Amino acid sequence: MIIHLTQRPLMLHLVPEQDTTPPPAARQRHRAVAGGAIDPKQLLASLPDAVRKLHPRVMVRNPVMFVVEVGSVLTTLSAVLDPSVFTWLISGWLWLTVIFANLAEAVAEGRGKAQAETLRRTRSTIVARRLQTWRVGMDRRDWEERQVPAAELRPHDVVVVEAGGTVPGDGEVVEGVAAVDESAITGESAPVIRESGGDRSGVTGGTKVLSDRIVVRITSRPGHTFLDRMIALVEGTSRQKTPNELALNILLASLTVIFILAVVSLQPMADWAGAPQTITVLVALLVTLIPTTIGALLSAIGIAGMDRLVQRNVLALSGRAVEAAGDVNTLLLDKTGTITLGNREAAAFVPVQGVPHDLLADAAQLSSLADETPEGRSVVVLAKRYGIRERDEGELAHAYFVPFSAQTRMSGVDFAWGDEICRIRKGAGNAVVQWVAARGGSVPTDARWIVDSIAAGGGTPLLVAVEDRDGARVLGAIHLKDIVKPGIAERFAALRSMGIKTVMVTGDNPLTAKAIAAEAGVDEFIAEATPEQKLARIREEQAGGNLVAMTGDGTNDAPALAQADVGVAMNTGTSAAKEAGNMVDLDSSPTKLIDIVEVGKQLLITRGALTTFSICNDVAKYFAIVPAMFSGVTGYEGLEKLNVMGLHSSTSAIASAIIFNALVIVALIPLALRGVRYVPSTAHALLRRNLRVYGLGGLVAPFAGIKAIDLLLQLVPGM
């Protein structure tokens, strides 16, 4: 057992902690990329990618646009065999239709590329100082240091990082405490504290250590670091279709098949009527009928949704979670580190009657010597102020340390001298009371009063007890202080107005929980919750038909984060929490769910609105193409009535419909990327509004658009 009494340097306490509002630097970054408008340069830059995506292997993933591509090939062939202005015009615009669809996706992906490039540069330059061998001397243990490229680090490797150095990989701080600049990852310029033990032990590769020295045990495999995942995410390479997206794709593919059958069976009819149609016209008819608008924009909408989350400093590792976020109705949060700053420190020793201060301080310190949690270290620091001296290793040779666990809620030490044994424990009030009672000891009446008064003020009381030849007894309490993150109550109120219930689940005692719950303004709280109970509460909510989000930072939150529909891990948290959740909030803001829900809703609404628009605007094109196909055919004069737009000629009518069909995709790229604005309202009102705007708009727009294009095409000779 190494006893390493790291004293927290005082300057660290002056470093500002994360606030719930993003700092100016991060906000600026958001603004820089968040603007919905795309500039033409972006379109141009994405053009090569759009052309590359024409490869059938890529296209086949999008059935609707794949059909258009096959149509483009067919019409090009017939244009070669039977050249005319009309056939070349149609085949040219069909290719453009496919390219525009690819362009939408390429532009959506391109937005993350620059960010990915910066992240790559960070990653490639890191050299790790790996601790290789563990030489065990007489009474000394030592590591040998070797420099290796960060990309070679494996899980369980141990590295050292000193002030000025870059953390070479994701891992846990196993020794020391440091101020870390995480701006490369979070865009946040204020440094944060990373320390061994508690819930702030996780460090991320690519961040910079500003002060002191930490020893880090690597937890990520090469190529699977947080930075790697972030790069894949902003580039969209790891993106998988969500269940909703798949369902919509199947619907679009089915519609496409139906229209292919309809168009194919049209030919014998037309033959019989004495008006056989060319391949070019049949393909043109098919392309206008199938839902090309949504087929072209669907993937871009999904990528843009993930991108909007990145802009709000949330890394969503699953698109399904983003969609689920749109419908969340319960949010569970843990207390320490999520609702509070998580900087729980010993503020005072409060002995029971008859016990001197320094006896309590000494016992508290002894029980904390090997307690690597921030709470434990802060007890050691406080004890020094009571004049308690440090123990050296020789004095502690017979000590057996009992580490803290969320199950026992206690930590401590056992000493043995010959046949005499002395045990010291500190921990949650009822855990220690039970421990004393089990040893036949008594709990003085003022112990309960001390514990309750600390808790009622929102502090966390830890009782300290000993067992020696005089029996087991409580000595007093340690007052741990933590602070509720600023501005949190208003944001919980905002969640309430969105119809989301907030529940705080904490391992802390009911009185402390009640005080913090009242201050933070959560709707409900559960105290003395074990990891299993956190998990059970989520299952219960889910069984009741609720979609549950969980926000947490600790290893004890990991099971709950994994079970929740939306599991948001704080970036300040442990790597276990970050692995378990499906989103990581780089700002570590407990109310980030507000943004996540907005983005989720916006994603669903945008997809719905553009699907409506797509299907409605195909109907109108029908009025342009069908009369054109049968114009001048005896027996079908009635169809001429459908030519309500009074289009110039049948060729120009068909070409206008195809050109309009292609242009509508380009016109809607900005909307697909920006997303339809989300105004909080009922699902019913939203649906009505969307049908009005996008349904009616979809019906009317083609009439005006096709007519305008037709007027221009009249001027082209040969049309």
Closest residue to ligand ATP, judged by C-beta, is 507
| Cβ-contact 524, 516 below 8 angstroms | no
Q: Which x/- pattern over 603-642 shows residues binding K ion (rule: CB under 5 A)? A: ---------------x------------------------
Could you give the angle at which helices 63-81 and 279-289 cross, rounded to 10 degrees?
A: 160
Which of 172, 228 has the CB closer to ligand ATP? Answer: 172
Task: Note whether 292 binds K ion by CB under 5 A.
Answer: yes
Instruction: State the DSSP string of 279-326.
Output: HHHHHHHHHHHS-HHHHHHHHHHHHHHHHHHHHTTEEES-HHHHHHHT
* Contact region with Mg ion (CB under 5 A), list: 55-63, 129-137, 550-558, 631-639: 550-558
Which of 166, 460 has the CB closer to ligand ATP? Answer: 460
Q: Which does 292 bind (CB under 5 to 8 A by kind): ligand ATP, Mg ion, K ion, none?
A: K ion
Which of 569, 597 has the CB closer to Mg ion? Answer: 569
The amino acid present at 451, given as its one-letter code, is V
The sign of the dihedral angle between the CA atoms of 239, 243, 245, 249 is: positive
240 is an annotated ligand-binding site residue: no
Which of 512, 661 has the CB closer to ligand ATP? Answer: 512
Q: Which x/- pattern over 443-472 shows residues binding ligand ATP (rule: CB under 6 A)? A: -----------------x-x----------
By CB under 6 A, the count of residues binding ligand ATP is 23
Task: Note whether 372 binds ligand ATP by CB under 6 A.
Answer: no
Which of 181, 618 has the CB closer to K ion? Answer: 618
Applying the rule CB under 6 A, the residues between 328 and 367 that interact with ligand ATP are 334-337
Binding residue for ligand ATP, selected from 188, 371, 579, 595, defined by CB under 6 A? 371
| Pair of tokens at residue 578 | 């970050």
Task: Enumerate residues 6+ apart whose C-beta is below 8 A from 64.
Answer: 252, 253, 256, 290, 291, 292, 294, 295, 296
Residues forming a β-bridge with 178:
194
Task: Note whether 62 binds K ion by CB under 5 A.
Answer: no
| Pair of tokens at residue 575 | 């790597």
409 is an annotated ligand-binding site residue: yes
Task: Note whether 554 binds Mg ion by CB under 5 A.
Answer: yes
Q: What whole-number distance in Å separates Cα of residue 164 and Cα of residue 18? A: 21
Which of 102, 411 has the CB closer to Mg ion? Answer: 411
By CB under 5 A, the count of residues binding Mg ion is 4
Residues 313, 317, 321, 326: what is their CA dihedral angle, to the nearest 10 degrees?
A: 30
Give how far Cα 75 sits from Cα of 86, 87, 88, 146, 651, Å.
Answer: 10, 7, 8, 64, 14
The amino acid present at 308, given as its one-letter code, is R
Which of 146, 539 has the CB closer to ligand ATP? Answer: 539
Applying the rule CB under 5 A, the residues between 130 and 189 that interact with K ion are none
Task: Note whether 256 binds K ion by CB under 5 A.
Answer: no
Which of 194, 707 has the CB closer to Mg ion? Answer: 194
Q: What whole-number distance in Å separates Cα of residue 560 and Cα of residue 506? A: 12
Task: Note whether 554 binds ligand ATP by CB under 6 A.
Answer: yes
Closest residue to K ion, judged by C-beta, is 292
The amino acid present at 686, given as its one-letter code, is L
Q: Which does 373 bind (CB under 5 to 8 A by kind): K ion, ligand ATP, Mg ion, none?
A: ligand ATP
The half-sphere exposure of 145 on its side-chain side, counting CA atoms within 13 A, is 9
Task: Enumerate residues 6+ apart whose C-beta is below 8 A from 432.
Answer: 410, 425, 426, 462, 463, 464, 465, 474
The amino acid present at 133, given as its one-letter code, is T
Task: Enumerate residues 6+ apart whose C-beta is below 8 A from 699.
Answer: 616, 617, 619, 620
Task: Note whether 202 binds Mg ion by CB under 5 A.
Answer: no
Q: What whole-number distance in Å separates Cα of residue 373 and Cα of residue 376? A: 5
Which of 277, 340 has the CB closer to Mg ion? Answer: 340
468 is an annotated ligand-binding site residue: no
| Cβ-contact 583, 316 below 8 angstroms | yes
Give CA angle at 138 (135, 140), nearest 5°: 55
Q: What whole-number distance in Å separates Cα of residue 566 and Cα of residue 550? A: 6
408 is an annotated ligand-binding site residue: yes
411 is an annotated ligand-binding site residue: yes
**Token pair 């098919």 is at which residue?**
286
Task: Note whether 62 binds Mg ion by CB under 5 A.
Answer: no
- Tell me how far, at minimum, the Cβ of 554 lies from ligand ATP, in Å: 5
Task: Note whether 288 binds Mg ion by CB under 5 A.
Answer: no
140 is an annotated ligand-binding site residue: no
Q: What whole-number distance in Å separates Cα of residue 180 and Cα of residue 182? A: 6
- Tell me how far, at minimum, the Cβ of 340 lies from Mg ion, in Å: 9
Identify which of 292, 230, 266 has the alpha carbon closest to the alpha carbon of residue 618: 292
Q: Which x/- pattern over 324-363 shows residues binding Mg ion (rule: CB under 5 A)? A: ----------x-x---------------------------
Q: Which does 130 bind (CB under 5 to 8 A by kind): Mg ion, ligand ATP, K ion, none?
A: none
> What b/e string do you get for 301-336 counting C-beta neighbours within 10 Å, with b at 16 or more?
bbbbbbbbbbbbbbbbbbbbbbbbbbebbbbbbbbb
Annotated catalytic residue within 181, 307, 334, 482: 334
Applying the rule CB under 6 A, the residues between 392 and 431 that interact with ligand ATP are 404, 406, 409-411, 426-428
- Tell me how far, at minimum, the Cβ of 290 lies from K ion, in Å: 5
| Pair of tokens at residue 377 | 């270290």
19 is an annotated ligand-binding site residue: no
* Contact region with Mg ion (CB under 5 A), list: 199-207, 397-405, 561-569, 704-712: 199-207
- Tell me how far, at minimum, the Cβ of 448 lies from ligand ATP, in Å: 15
271 is catalytic: no
406 is an annotated ligand-binding site residue: yes
Q: What whole-number distance in Å separates Cα of residue 29 and Cα of residue 153? A: 31
Give residues in contact with Mg ion (CB under 5 A).
199, 334, 336, 554
Specify binding-site residues: 371, 375, 404-411, 426, 553, 557
Give residues in contact with ligand ATP (CB under 6 A).
334-337, 371, 373, 375-376, 404, 406, 409-411, 426-428, 460, 462, 506-508, 554, 556
Give residues in contact with K ion (CB under 5 A).
292, 618
Residues taking part in catalysis? 334
Specify binding-site residues for ATP: 371, 375, 404-411, 426
Specify binding-site residues for Mg(2+): 553, 557
